[in-house]
Structure 1
Amino acid sequence: MNRLSLLLLSICVSINLSTINVYAENLGQIGKTYPIEEPNLIDHIKSQASRAVANGSWKKMQQKIIKQTEQKIDYPPVILASKTIESSVRYYDPSIKINQDIINPFDHTILAHKGEVVNPSDYMPFNNELIFIDGRDPEQVSYALMESKRSPFRTSIVLTAATKFRELLAQKKHVFYYDQNGKLVSQFGIKHVPTIIYQDNIQPRKLRIEEVKL
């Protein structure tokens, strides 16, 4: 850059700085001024709530939420509805791979090493029986209740679909569970219902998954 260019650049910078200084000048006070105040958020919420209670909209909102919640309970999303058309048996290996060392908190010894494959059945038997059914099918519901009484295990009836869930609980006077988000169906690879899962003596280190044709 030559001297002329540097000179022009210096002049431009000087002009810009002068302009900035001019605009930054205190022009004084024009008219009456007021302090800036923001409403307190908590007070605002209380005020809105009081107004909603007074005009009845609060009660309407409560009733709407209750109704929506009851609807979700009574008519949960269908996880699995395919009925078993042919009985079959397969086995599920519950072994898991340890992703980090498991250390005894008392003596700090390593109970399981990272990368090791552990089968829970080697340490604790699976004394439960899971009964998966479509809760909308009266035949499957009756089967599950009879199986629950007959089984030597502690049973849990798990629904993969349901209609009027609370009414079902009241009528049958029995505890039913729902497979939220289909986690169990996905984990065990269940394709049809009814399906029962328990531990037998044929392959004691695995879980028996039996699709039952009614």
Structure 2
Amino acid sequence: MRLCARLLAAAVVATVATTPARAQDLGVIGPVYPIAEPSLLEVILGRLRAAEQDGTLARLQRDAQARVRQTVDEPAPVAGLARARQARRFHHDPSIVVQEAILDSDGRVIVPPGTVVNPLDTVRLSQALLFFDARDREQVEQARKLVDARHGQVKVILTGGSYLDLMRRWQRPVFYDQQGALATRLGIRHVPALVTQDGRRLRVDELP
């Protein structure tokens, strides 16, 4: 009996193993609903069309253009600068230490690393640098007098206010100290400040 049972079990296993599998349609189990969630792209496009129709999109574009024009016309004022209330004079050494060797076109070292280089040994400051805040009317008037007294040999650099407006009024180039890079490097803390060359150093005069 045990031998017959084993033979029957083996026959069943062999039959199952050799019978090809077939997919069967088991029918619908429960209700079926269509996918109702809209695509993200359709949602975005729909909102853009609605914003265009009610004028919101045009307003946002005008606001963005106005902000860009404002940023270009009047950059953010340099932080940390105050109005000069008393005269202050100091000197700035523009020397730098060469970190990597400077080579010529043939690969020969012309300036070894560690060399101290002062740019004023080879070039001169052809114009004085005048830093001031154009939002302050007194500083603007004081700057105008300095420019005239030096016969225009002054590079005007704003730390606040509209350089485009001043350029139109003065009919001369006006620059802007973006993020206070120059003022920080020169150690300027108060404006107006006039920078001139004094030998191998730069002299900074903060003018009350």
Same fold (TM over 0.5): yes
Contact 2:163 2:175 in 1 (8 A): no
Deviations 1:43-73 (A, max 9, x none): x999987776555444222201112223333
Post-superposition shift, 1:28? 8.0
- Equivalent residue for 2:154? 155
Larger radius of gyration: 2
- Equivalent residue for 1:74? 74
Contact 1:79 1:179 in 2 (8 A): no
Change in 2 beyond 3 A, CA 1:108/1:85: same
- Equivalent residue for 1:36? none
Work out the percentage of aligned pairs sharing the same amino acid.
28
Between 1:70-79 and 1:88-97, the stretch displaced more is 70-79
Q: TM-score scaled by structure 1?
A: 0.66
Post-superposition shift, 1:29? 9.5
The match for 1:210 among 200, 205, 208 is 205
Change in 2 beyond 3 A, CA 1:152/1:171: closer
- Equivalent residue for 2:140? 141
Alignment gaps of 5+ in structure 1: 1-25, 33-38
Q: TM-score scaled by structure 2?
A: 0.68
- Equivalent residue for 1:99? 99
* RMSD value, Cα: 3.6
- Equivalent residue for 1:4? none
Contact 1:92 1:208 in 2 (8 A): yes
- Equivalent residue for 1:11? none
Question: How many corresponding residue pairs?
Answer: 180
Change in 2 beyond 3 A, CA 1:152/1:92: farther
Distance 2:59 2:195 in 1: 45
- Equivalent residue for 1:173? 171
Change in 2 beyond 3 A, CA 1:107/1:83: same
| 1:199 match: secondary structure | strand
Distance 1:129 1:191 in 2: 18
Contact 2:132 2:157 in 1 (8 A): yes
Letter in 2 for 1:148: V
- Equivalent residue for 1:120? 119
- Equivalent residue for 1:192? 190
